[in-house]
Structure 1
Amino acid sequence: MIYDIRHVTSYSYESAVSFARCSLRLEPRNGDGQVLISHAVDIRPRPAERTVRRDFYGTPTESVLIEAAHKHLRIDSRSRVSVERRSHDRAADSPPWEHVRELAFTAASLGPSSPVGYVFASTLVPVLPQVTAYATASFPQGGGILAGAADLMRRIRSEFRYDPKATVISTPLAEVFRQRHGVCQDFAHVMIAGLRGLGLPAAYVSGYIRTIPPPGKPRLQGADATHAWVSVWCGGDLGWVGFDPTNDLMIANDHIVIAAGRDFSDVSPVDGIIVGSRKQKLRVEVDVMPVE
């Protein structure tokens, strides 16, 4: 499957901004079933300086410096990506989860793909006893890692309510878990916290998901959104396997990966600092279009 992706981020400021420095993580990944065909980002006003580096996790990260005074900032990212990956069967045989836990702690590498880096608490994902207890119900003694992670994913999908007005980025995980509602970022964080509480490696993945309009309804321009899901290390043979707790889906060809890290703070598509504004408005428009 080939996709054309457009991701437009627009900021409007109450007063003029005299200086802005931003970090952009908008380039889809190459590898793991994806091939990046093209990618370009147009920024208005034009930056005085643009540099690209790869962060610790291998994500292309563009640093942008804007020195011209402005009341509007528009970041227009366009990409074409080919996706062809095999979806794992959630009911397939897999190593016992206790064995996977033991293997993770014997990892010899501390690199970005090493499971041991995703076992411990992170900035936005504390290990909480109540979340660990919740996850434990999906992992009976000797149970397979795939079946356990898939069951936890299914339970989050059925027992948590999707509500875009319920949380913000800074809403604590404990509050999300207590209220049982939030958005894809929250559901991914809950699942990661539960897995890490059991000693299982889990990473946060950001990207896009193809959406299909209801039968007979037109596809609305800009109606898609950025998405988040979980990648679980399932042992040396299976490696990292994707689980989408928002939709109870094993990751396949409808998901496009941008970045992975310990939690959202490692993969935010746009962040940075500005000087000179009071209030601001943010608008994000995303289109994920299959290429016929």
Structure 2
Amino acid sequence: MIAILGAAGKIGYSTARALREAGVPVRAILRDPAKAGRLSAIGCEVAFADLQDAKALAGAIADADSVQIILPPNPRAEDIKGDMCRSIESIAEALEEAQPALVLAISDYGAHLGEGFAMPSMFHMFEQRLRQLDIRRIFLRSAEHMEGWGRVAPAAIATGILPSFHDPVEKQIPNVSAQDVGRIAADLLLRPDIETREQIVHAEGPRRYSASDVAAALSQLLGRTITAEALPRSQWRESLGRMMSASAADLLTELYEVHSRGGLIDVEPNARDVRRGSTELTDALRPVVAVR
């Protein structure tokens, strides 16, 4: 039995589906009962627990051989760092009680960098806390999700201008489809490296993309020209604040400042295991255009 926290999300559902297609029993752990339908439809057992309720989580993952965990930032949290820290501690306490044989944690590019790197630093903390547990673990560090461009795609569709927090707009950034991350996770759960206590894997797409590539993909999908333009630094926080809490906007502003200083968030130096998804940018953005 493999238990998946956050199984209703893009990554979690993709993992669950791949595992079920392989004939593996899956327990999908959700917070919202309204999201259980499609997981039940593919044959998952469903359990319910809040990410910050360690006792409920421990009960939900009890007797699972392997557990996939995820640390989803809440873009509406008033204190996003504090909220993530509470989730980290709750997950760690639940794992310590349940003691599964293997944990696969969805992490982030740059988690090796330590403090001072915004969101990757939160995942550094996540990994460090899990290293305190006497459990075999896989850290699957994901590149920036292609689907994240969906936040600014509506503005591009409406105006013909794709606002970019990356400057210059031709700068190539590691990207990956969230669904590919889920499929890579499923493969790792089915075929873990049984000789190592800790396995670190990086996941990105078939190639790297820039904001200009995103604009070109949207142009292709829409049948009209979309142009990428770098958003002035003075407008970052205000623009992000229209989509998320002030705390989340601050954290993302910090991240884009790292990029703007030339600090590309990338794979760990000398990384030995980088796995590539097959989803191209145009295919990842197709659903965003379809719902316009």
* Fold match (TM-score > 0.5): no
TM-score scaled by length of structure 2: 0.27
- Which structure dedicates a bigger proportion of its chain to strand? 1
TM-score scaled by length of structure 1: 0.27
